[in-house]
Structure 1
């Protein structure tokens, strides 16, 4: 855990943010192959030891990057949840899917890094056993929203909420994968996706 002097003029209060930004940049540009603490420290212009001080280990750093974007998705999900019964079901679902899409576009490189490392994958699963972290954090707000719309009579009474939410979340994740792989033409826009799903969700 050696490295250059702290900050090279950067205020101590910005070290954590600089490390997170450098981690995201490296993953987006070069993937997990170049994600070493030395390279992160060089890009962030901080001491390598500061990475371990702020995040304990590499897994802690990756989890912090995921958490960095989760609040914004939850804000949108909460806003959509408050809109249950108002506006149109279609518009609410498009906004929810757009928020999920943006979230997964940011964290897909981090998920790929975890999947590519057996030790990281096992430790991520272990740390997520209590539900505090992990993919279910994106699923639950969708379940809650659909449950409220069902209570208000706009979503089918017989709808199995968790599988329906899983389809929405999986669609957002797959769209992010298409984006990162540069699939020709890209996936269908979120409006078309919602129009396809809506007959199975909405009350006739």
Structure 2
């Protein structure tokens, strides 16, 4: 990401959103190689200094794009935790898997950008070392949901919740990656079928 002189004063209203949209469009079209502050500013119709004002650095910008799409998963996860015990375990798992899949499909270009850039990867790992940020955070709502189902007696009492949550999140991530690599029109394994494969390991006997 190229540098630029930081301007004085507060950027105008809507600039932050325009920068996020421009960064996401560039990543989807051309990947991290074209993700320069000059190109983002040109696409956003903003001053280059506005990027540093709002996001501090390149990693901050990418993390902001990821947060932009968190509701795709967070809203589903919160609803499933709230509704634990209602409906079937299969339906709840399918909702979780589909919410995670939608989220990961939107952020797949950002994950690829971080993996492709050694500096970004190292700084991302450094910022996530304390567990406050990073992909491991996706496990927490799933663990919460499984714990509530376990308390209600619908999930095995001896189930190790973190590995089980990892299987669910991992399955959703793989579905999203396959779709990203193969194109949105490529055949995909339905979330309900993935739920059916996971259920025997989860159900209380």
Same fold (TM over 0.5): yes
Q: CA deviation at 1:185?
A: 4.2
1:120 corresponds to: 120
Measured against aligned partners, the alpha-carbon deviations of 1:73-102 in whole angstroms (never above 9, x if no partner) come to 222111100110111111111011111001
User: Following superposition, which runs of at least 4 residues in structure 1 exceed 2 angstroms of deviation?
Assistant: 183-187
TM-score when normalising by structure 2: 0.91
Measured against aligned partners, the alpha-carbon deviations of 1:15-39 in whole angstroms (never above 9, x if no partner) come to 0001111111111111112111111
Q: CA deviation at 1:69?
A: 1.5
Answer whether contact 2:179 2:186 (CA < 8 A) is retained. no
* Counterpart secondary structure, 2:194: helix
Q: What does 1:46-85 correspond to in 2, within 5 Å? A: 46-85=46-85
Q: Structure 2: how far apart are the matches of 1:161 and 1:87?
A: 20
Q: Figure out how many residues of one structure are paired with residues of the other and give that number.
A: 198
Structure 2 stretches lacking a partner, 5+ long: none
Q: CA deviation at 1:2?
A: 4.2
Q: Structure 2: how far apart are the matches of 1:86 and 1:138?
A: 22
Structure 1 stretches lacking a partner, 5+ long: 6-10
2:150 corresponds to: 150
2:23 corresponds to: 23
Q: Structure 2: how far apart are the matches of 1:188 and 1:38?
A: 40
Q: Superposition RMSD on alpha carbons, in Å?
A: 1.7
2:190 corresponds to: 189
Answer whether contact 1:2 1:47 (CA < 8 A) is retained. no
Q: Structure 2: how far apart are the matches of 1:185 and 1:75?
A: 26
2:35 corresponds to: 35
